[in-house]
Structure 1
Amino acid sequence: MREGAGEHGAGLTSLRRFTWWTVPGTTVCLLVLFFGEWLLDPEVPVRIRVPVAVALVADAVASAVLLGGRLALPTATDAAPPVRPPRAWTAVSVAATIVLAVLPLARRDYELWAVAPAVTVAIWAAHLGPRRRRTLTVGAVVLALLPGAAVSLAAEDGELAHAALFPAGLVAFTVWMVLGPLWAWNIAGRLDRARRLEAESAVKDERLRFAADLHDIQGHHLQVIALKSELAARLVERDPARAAAEMREVRQLAADALRDTRAVVRGYRRTTLDDEIANAGKVLAAAGIDARTALEPASLPAGLTDTGRHLLGLVMREATTNVLRHSRAGYAEVDCRVVDGRARLRMTNDGADGHPVGTDGTGLTTLDERLRAAGGELTWHREGGRFEVTACLPLVPGRAGGGPPAPDSHDRTKGAAR
C-alpha cells in the first residue's frame, strides 16, 4: 500500500486507502463473517471444519492479493485493466472456492455455499473488460441457480426457491459491491491523468507563446541591427560621421533588444500598435524605403482592447521585418482603419519580386493562428511585384467610435507566406 509520489496533492492517497479498505477489506470481512459462525457451530463435524478453515484463510489472502493488484495502477481504464491476475494466486483462490462451496452445499446450507464463488466471480470480473465482464456476471448469476436447486430437489426439502434464488442474488450483489468502488477508482485515476496532461499542455502553450514573442521581438531588432551595420560599413570611408551615428543607433538597438528580451522573460513586454507603426516609419525610412501611413487614430484605439493592440502590433512588426528581410521595396504603405466594425491593418510594398514565393512563412502563419484565436484573421497576397498583408480584429461593441467605414477592397486569398 505504498502510494506513488504523483498521488500526493491530487487527493488519491486517501482515495486509494479508502478503496483498498472498501474492496479487499470488505471482501475478506465478508468471507470471515459468513464462515466464522459456521466454523464455530458444534453441529459441524471437525473433519469438515478443518479443511474449511484452511480454505477460508487461503481464499481470504488470495482475494486480498488479487484485488490489491487490481488497484496497482490508478490510471487504468475499464476497457484495459492494469494487470492480469497472478496465476498462482488465482489457482489458490479457485481451489479454496471449490472447498468452501462443496462442503457447505453437501450439508444443504443454501446460503453459505455461494459466498466464496460470488467473491471469486467478482474478482475475475474486476480483471476483465466491460463486455467480457457482463458476460461473466450474467453467466455466473444463471449458473448459481442450479447447484442449490439440484440439491434441494434431490433432498425434497421444499426449499427450492430459496436454494435457487439466494445464491444468484448473492453473486449479483457481490459483483456490484466490488466493481462499484473500483469504477470510482478508475474514474479518479483518469481525472488525475487528465489534470496532469492539462498541466503539461499549459506548459507547452506557454513555451510556444514565449518562442513567438521572442521571435517577434528579437527578429525585428536583429534585422534592423544588420541593416544599419551594413549601412555603416558602406559609409565608413565616405562619411565617417554618419557611419558613427549609425553605429550609435546600432548600440541603442542592441540595448533595446536586451531590455525587451528581459521583459519577455519576466512576461511584461507588450507590443503596441501605435509604437510599432511609428517605429516602422523610422526603420523603413532608414532603409531608403518611401513609407506612408493612412490612419484613423480617433476611432481605432477606442475600439481595440489591449490584447488587440498587442496582436496588431506584432503583425506590424512582422510585416516590417519581412519588408526589410525579403524584399527590395522602394515604397511601402500602412493603412489602419475601422471597416464594418472591425479594425483592419494593411501593409503593402512593391518589392515582392525580390523574394521567392512560399519561403519562410512561419512568422505570418503563427500570427494568423493567434489572430484567429482572438476572433480575427490574417491574410497575405502577392500580385506581380506587389505584396500585401492584411490583419483584421473585431472591435469591442459600443466602442468602435465614429466615422464612416472605409470601403474595403476585394477579398484576398492567402498566397505565399513571406
Structure 2
Amino acid sequence: MHDGVSDRAAGLTSFRRYTWWAVPGTTGAVLVLLVGSWIVDADLPAWARALAVAALATETTASVVLLGGRLAQGPGDDERPELPSAGWLSAAATATVVLAVLPLAWRNYGLWAVAPAVTVAIGATYLRAGTRRWLIGGATVLAVVPGGAVSLAQGDGELAYAALFPAGLVAFTVWMVLGPLWAWDVAGRLDRARRLEAELAVKDERLRFAADLHDIQGHHLQVIALKSELAARLAEVDPARAAAEMREVRRLSADALRDTRAVVHGYRRTTLDDEIAGAVRVLAAADIDARMVLDPTAARTDLADSARHLLGLVMRESITNVLRHSHARHAEVDYRVTGSLARLRVSNDGADAHPAGAAGTGLTGLGERLRAAGGELTWARDGDRFVLVASLPTASTTSSASTTPSALPESGATR
C-alpha cells in the first residue's frame, strides 16, 4: 500500500494512470483489434467464430485483470511480485490455446502467435528476473515450431515467414509489455529512496539537536550544581562570597536558557576561544589549579569556523568530565598548532578509577565527528591521570559532520 498524498506529490498517481493505459489498456486494445478483425473478416464456420469470440473475450478480460493486478502491487515490487490468481491464469491459458489453434488451422501465420505472446508477457511480469529470462527465451524459440511445422506440412513455401515472424512477435510483445512496467518499478524504487532520504535527514537533525542540547545542559547544569554546592557551604562563613556565587548561578542559568533557545532556532555555535575562557573560570570556582598553555601562533592560524566549533565542543566536554568524573586538584589545557594540525590537549589528575556511568557516548560521538572532519580524538587513563587529545587539520573545510553527530550522546556520564 502507498500513501496517496505522497504518491501525488511525487507524480506517481499520473504515472500509474499512464502505465495502466500503456500496459493493460493497450494490450486489451491490440487483442481486440487484431484478433477481432480476423474473426470478422475470415471465412470461418459459425462454431469456430463463436468459439473465437468467446476465447477473445476471455483472453482480453484475463489480460486486463492480470496486468492490472501486477500494477496494483505498487512500483518497486518486481523483485518479489505476488503470484496472480490461478483461475485467471487458467482462463488466459485456455483462451490462448483456442486463439492460437484456430488461426493456425487457417494458416494465418502472422496472427496465431498474438495471444500466446501476450500470455507469455503477462506471465513474465510475475516472475523474478532469472526465471523471467528463461521463460522469454524458451517461448521465443518454441514460437518457431508451430508455424514452421504447419508450413512444411502444407508445402506453401512460407516456411521462413511462418517460423520467424511468430518468434519476433513474441519477443516484441514481451518487450512492449515489460518496458513500461520496468519504468514503473524503477520509479517506485526511486520514490522509496526519496522517502528514506527524507527520514534520514529528519533523524540526523534530531541527533544534531540532541547532541547540542546534551553539550549545553550537561555543561551548564554541572557548573550550576558545583557553584550551588559551594554557595551552600559559604552561606554561614562568608555570606558575601556565597551571594556572589549565587549571582554566578543565576548568570549561568540565563546562559543555559539562551543557548537552549539558540539550539532550537539552529544558530548556536560553540567556539574554542569562548570555551577556553570559560574553562578558566569554571576550574577556578572548583578550586582546581588550572594551567593554560596557549601557542601565540595558534590565534593567528587560519582555522575554519567548523573546526573551531568542534574543538570548542571537545573543550567543553573535557571540562565537564573533569568536574563530573574526577577529584582533580590540577588540570592543564594545551592548545597549539604544529605544522598543518591544530592540537588541543586536556589533562587532569584525580581521575576516578571506575567512574559511574562510564558507558556514555559523549567522547565517542565527538571522536566520530572529528574523524569525519579529517581529525582525531584520543583519550587514555594512566593511574589517576586522564589525558585527552584532539587534533584537526588547520586547512579543514569540515563538512556537515561537524554539526551532525554520528552517535547520540547520553544525558548521563560521557567519559
Structures share fold, TM-score greater than 0.5: yes
Aligned to 1:411: none
Moved more, 147-156 or 282-291: 147-156
Listed one character per residue, the Cα deviations across residues 99-149 of structure 1 (whole Å, up to 9, x for unaligned) are 111111111111111100000000000100011101111111122112112
Counterpart position of 1:54: 54
2:100 is the alignment partner of 1:95: no
User: In structure 1, how many angstroms separate the alpha carbons of the residues matched to 2:197 and 2:207?
Assistant: 15
Residue 12 of structure 1, CA deviation: 1.7
Q: 1:134-171: per-residue Cα shift (whole Å, max 9, x none)?
A: 11111111221121122222222222222111111111
Query: AA paired with 1:134?
Result: R
Amino acid at match of 2:76: A
> What's 2:384 paired with?
385
Deviation, structure 1 residue 89: 1.5
Letter in 2 for 1:159: E
Q: Work out whether residues 298 and 335 of structure 2, in 8 Å CA contact, stay in contact via their aligned partners in 1.
A: no
Partner of 2:400: none
C-alpha distance in 1, partners of 2:175/2:307? 56
Q: Contact conserved, 2:279 with 2:319, CA < 8 A, in 1? A: yes
Moved >3 Å (runs of 4+) = 297-302, 353-358
Letter in 2 for 1:235: L
Match of 1:372 in 2: 371
Distance 1:393 1:335 in 2: 14
Rounded to whole Å, the distance in 2 between the matches of 1:3 and 1:93 is 32
The Cα of 1:297 is off from its aligned counterpart by 4.5
Cα distance in structure 1, aligned partners of 2:75 and 2:168? 31
1:379-418 correspondence runs (5 A): 379-396=378-395, 418=415
Distance 1:397 1:382 in 2: 29
Residue of structure 1 equivalent to 2:79:
79
Alignment partners' CA distance in 2, 1:167 and 1:30:
16
Name the aligned partner's letter for residue 104 of structure 2.
Answer: L
Aligned to 1:239: 238
Q: Secondary structure at the match of 1:299?
A: helix
Aligned-partner residue type, residue 79 of structure 2: A
Partner of 1:63: 63
Check conservation: 2:307, 2:396, Cα contact below 8 A.
no
Match of 1:401 in 2: none
**Aligned residue number for residue 404 of structure 1:** none
Q: Percent sequence identity over matched residues?
A: 68
Task: For residue 353 of structure 1, report the CA deviation from its aligned partner.
Answer: 4.1
Superimposed CA distance per residue, residues 8-33 of structure 1 (whole angstroms, 9 cap, x where no aligned partner): 22122222222212111221122112
Contact 1:74 / 1:188 at 8 angstroms: preserved in 2? Answer: no
* Alpha-carbon distance between aligned partners in 2 of 1:55 and 1:44, rounded to the nearest angstrom: 15
Tell me the amino acid that sits aligned with residue 240 of structure 2: A
Equivalent positions of 1:9-408 (< 5 A) are: 9-41=9-41, 43-81=43-81, 83-300=82-299, 302-353=301-352, 355-356=354-355, 359-396=358-395
The whole-number CA distance in structure 1 between the counterparts of 2:326 and 2:111 is 89
AA paired with 2:28?
V
**Residues 295 and 336, structure 1, Cα contact 8 Å, conserved in 2:** yes
Inter-CA distance 85–151: structure 2 relative to 1 (3 Å threshold): same
Point out where structure 1 has 5 or more consecutive residues left out of the alignment: 399-415
**Cα shift readout 1:364-405 (whole Å, capped 9, x = no counterpart):** 00100111111111111111221111111111289xxxxxxx
Between 1:206-215 and 1:245-254, the stretch displaced more is 245-254
- Aligned-residue offset at 1:238: 1.6
Is residue 380–residue 387 contact of structure 1 (8 Å, CA) maintained in 2? yes
More off after superposition, 192-201 vs 237-246: 237-246
1:175-212 residue CA offsets vs partner (Å, 9 max, x unmatched): 11111111111111111111111111111111111111
**Residues 1:180 and 1:201: Cα distance change in structure 2 (over 3 Å):** same
Report deviation, 1:35.
1.1
Letter of the 2:74 counterpart: P
The separation in 1 between residues aligned to 2:159 and 2:227, in whole angstroms, is 101
SS at match of 1:148: helix
In the TM superposition, residue 355 of structure 1 has moved relative to its aligned partner by: 4.7
TM-score by length of 2: 0.91
Structure 1 residues 376 and 300: alpha-carbon distance in aligned structure 2, compared to 1, 3 A threshold = farther
Instruction: Answer yes or no: is the 8 Å Cα contact 1:380–1:417 preserved in 2.
Output: no
**Displacement of 1:240 after TM fit?**
2.0
Amino acid at match of 1:37: S
AA paired with 1:311?
A: L
- What is the SS of the residue equivalent to 2:337? strand
1: CA distance between counterparts of 2:22 and 2:300?
63
Deviations 1:35-71 (Å, cap 9, x if unpaired)? 1221221623332222212221221121111111111
Matched residues, number: 399
1:196 & 1:59 partners in 2: Cα distance? Answer: 39
- Asked if 1 retains the 8 angstrom alpha-carbon contact of 2:321 and 2:414, the reply is no
Q: Which moved more, 1:330-339 or 1:153-162?
A: 153-162
| Deviation for aligned residue 1:358 | 8.7
Q: Which amino acid aligns with 2:146?
A: P
Give how far 1:301 is off. Answer: 5.2
**Structure 2 letter corresponding to 1:325:** R
Residues 194 and 309 of structure 1: CA distance in aligned 2, closer, same or farther (over 3 Å): same
CA separation of 1:42 and 1:125: change in aligned 2, threshold 3 A = closer
CA root-mean-square deviation: 2.0
Higher deviation after alignment, 382-391 or 270-279? 382-391
Q: Unaligned 5+ residue runs, structure 2?
A: 398-412
Deviation at 1:271, TM superposition (A): 0.6
8 Å CA contact 2:148–2:162 kept in 1: the answer is: yes
What is the rounded CA distance, in whole Å, between the counterparts of 2:70 and 2:7 in structure 1? 17
